[in-house]
């Protein structure tokens, strides 16, 4: 077995040496893409949507963000950092934004820009788009939601709005500015400070055949530590940084729940949190929710304030965003220039569904296997304990018919077999060791 496995879009990796096979990740995966075997977490990369729920719960940090190496920024003469509102909301309100900007400059960036600067133009474009599109339009803002729809709700892919999210528009704007001032492409790097695992995946492998102007992504959790350490140590400021902090109150609130839908015309709804999102999409897919124009759907509870790489309590982060939004005007002075030079409308290919082949590509065989799995499910205990290394009894039944697990993996059935004398104690121990690793059953007396 390889010592590292990566997720579908390579936003995350599982480092086996650190993984203790605790199964926490397996329990939270919204697509049931994780299993435990030989005491380590293993991933069905095809089923992964790079949402980062597993990263959030990993107690040993064995699941790591595959962000770009920070040092790469120095390959460029002009180093732009696109900073989202939630980054500033990670700090206590008493730390002035100016101080944070200066530290970012001291850490190596030559220019800093607010990600949500493009939101004001985007809102206009969404309202325009809604006049002609298929309803309800699902916002393209949250990349984890887009990927969830591709994998679990393929019939809804055509409802995903074909407009770029704010980060891409802002990146476009700064790229164009460099181009206009005659700077060579190799001389500037546009980096995105991300609170989100799925955004890393979105930049690395965007959907819809679009190429991002973003050079690299910086992990917000990692960068927060760097900035906060510099702040605590009172690192002297020796460099200067160009600040493009223009933001409207709409922009500041955009990444929080309701911040998008409240600016869109018609009947709109805002849904946040993975479980809520799945429940809602089920209803939507059944056509049980008619007459909705626009849906803001975000995978994280409290939207980006609860982002996977946002370390501060989500409610405090959201509160900070609200507070800051009252301090900025309703419009900023770059809006007109954005309107003139940038657009969320790009030629995008159709977003393709990514079907999860559960049983077999051949439907005849798939039906046979599904029937076997249904029979198995009736004899499994139904308590979803996870002791077999699969997240639920249903998942185990599916694994068994796919020949990826054995019926003996179930601790309940195994107890029955043991009672009947059909399986030896040695064998039951061996099965547990195969799933959870030998070391777990080798507690030497201290």
Partner 1 sequence: MQFEYKVEGGDFTQAGHASSQIKKSLKQLGVDSSVIKRVVVALYEAEVNIVAHAYRGVIYADIESTGIKLTLEDEGPGIPDVEQAMRKGFSTASHAVREMGFGAGMGLPNISENADNLSIETVVGKGTTLRIEIKF
Binding site for partner 1 (CB under 8 A): 152, 154-155, 157, 282, 285-288, 353, 355-361, 363-364, 366-367, 370-371, 374
Residues near 124 by Cβ (< 8 Å), separated by ≥ 6? Answer: 339
Residues near 384 by Cβ (< 8 Å), separated by ≥ 6? Answer: 391, 392, 393
Angle between helices 425-436 and 411-419 (to 10 degrees): 170
Nearer to partner 1, 187 or 362 (CB): 362
Nearer to partner 1, 155 or 225 (CB): 155
Nearer to partner 1, 232 or 361 (CB): 361
Nearer to partner 1, 41 or 281 (CB): 281
Smallest distance from the beta carbon of 278 to partner 1, in angstroms? 12
Going by their DSSP bridges, the two strands 111-114 and 242-244 should be labelled as: parallel
Smallest distance from the beta carbon of 195 to partner 1, in angstroms? 31
Nearer to partner 1, 79 or 152 (CB): 152
Contacts made by residues 23-27, CB under 8 angstroms, sequence distance 24+: 23/386, 23/389, 24/57, 24/58, 24/59, 25/53, 25/54, 25/57, 25/58, 25/63, 26/386, 26/389, 26/390, 26/391, 27/57, 27/386, 27/391
Distance CA 402, CA 396 (A): 10
Smallest distance from the beta carbon of 83 to partner 1, in angstroms? 38
Smallest distance from the beta carbon of 275 to partner 1, in angstroms? 15
Smallest distance from the beta carbon of 54 to partner 1, in angstroms? 22
In Å, how far from its chain's centre is CA 296? Answer: 16
Smallest distance from the beta carbon of 358 to partner 1, in angstroms? 4
Nearest-5° Cα angle at 419, 415 to 424: 80
Nearer to partner 1, 91 or 359 (CB): 359
């Amino acid at each position: 077995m390889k010592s590292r496995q990566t997720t579908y879009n390579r936003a995350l990796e599982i480092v086996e040496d650190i993984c203790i096979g605790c199964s926490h990740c397996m329990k939270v995966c919204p697509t049931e893409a994780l299993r435990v075997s030989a005491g380590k977490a293993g991933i069905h990369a095809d089923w992964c949507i790079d949402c980062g729920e597993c990263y959030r719960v990993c107690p040993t940090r064995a699941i790591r963000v595959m962000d770009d190496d920070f040092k790469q920024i120095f390959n460029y003469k002009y180093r732009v950092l696109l900073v989202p509102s939630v980054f500033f909301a990670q700090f206590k309100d008493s730390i002035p934004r100016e101080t944070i900007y200066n530290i970012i400059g001291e850490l190596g960036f030559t220019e800093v820009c607010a990600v949500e600067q493009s939101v004001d133009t985007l809102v206009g474009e969404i309202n325009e788009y809604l006049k002609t599109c298929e309803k309800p339009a699902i916002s393209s803002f949250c990349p984890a939601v887009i990927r969830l729809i591709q994998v679990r709700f393929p019939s809804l892919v055509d409802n995903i709005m074909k407009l770029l999210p704010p980060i891409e528009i802002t990146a476009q704007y700064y790229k164009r500015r460099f181009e206009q001032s005659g700077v060579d492409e190799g001389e500037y790097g546009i980096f995105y400070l991300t609170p989100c695992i799925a955004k890393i995946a979105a930049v690395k492998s965007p959907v819809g055949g679009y190429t991002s102007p973003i050079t690299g992504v910086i992990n917000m959790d990692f960068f927060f530590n760097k900035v906060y350490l510099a702040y605590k140590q009172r690192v002297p400021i020796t460099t200067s940084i160009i600040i493009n902090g223009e933001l409207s109150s709409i922009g500041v609130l955009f990444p929080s729940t309701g911040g998008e839908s409240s600016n869109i015309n018609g009947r709109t709804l805002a849904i946040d949190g993975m479980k809520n999102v799945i429940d809602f999409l089920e209803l939507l897919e059944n056509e049980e929710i008619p007459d909705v124009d626009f849906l803001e759907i975000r995978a994280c509870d409290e939207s980006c304030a609860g982002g996977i790489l946002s370390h501060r309590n989500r409610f405090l982060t959201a509160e900070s965003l609200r507070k800051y939004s009252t301090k900025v005007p309703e419009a900023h002075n770059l809006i007109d220039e954005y309107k003139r030079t940038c657009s969320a409308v790009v030629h995008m290919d159709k977003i393709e569904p990514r079907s999860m082949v559960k049983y077999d590509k051949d439907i005849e065989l798939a039906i046979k296997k599904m029937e076997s799995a249904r029979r198995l499910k009736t004899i499994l205990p139904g308590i979803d304990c996870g002791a077999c290394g699969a997240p639920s009894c249903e998942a185990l039944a599916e694994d068994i018919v796919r020949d990826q697990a054995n019926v003996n993996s179930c601790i309940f059935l195994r107890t029955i077999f043991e009672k009947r004398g059909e399986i030896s104690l040695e064998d039951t121990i061996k099965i547990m060791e195969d799933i959870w690793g030998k070391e777990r059953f080798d507690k030497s007396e201290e």
